[in-house]
Amino acid sequence: MRSSFRQANREALITLGLYVFFFLWWTVFAFGPGAGDPAEYTYVWGMPAWFFYSCVLGYPVITLLLWGVVRFFFSDMPLDGSENDSRKEDDR
Q: Is pLDDT larger for residue 36 or for residue 65?
A: 65
- List, for residues 14-62, the tens digit of each pLDDT value: 999 999 999 999 999 888 777 777 788 889 999 888 889 888 999 999 9
71 pLDDT higher than 70: yes
Write down the domain spans for the chain.
Answer: 1-22+37-75
Is the pLDDT at 84 greater than 70? The verdict is: no
- Please check the confidence at residue 4 and state whether its pLDDT lies above 50: yes
CA distances from 14 to 20, 21, 55, 72, 86 (A): 10, 10, 22, 12, 29
pLDDT at res. 21: 94
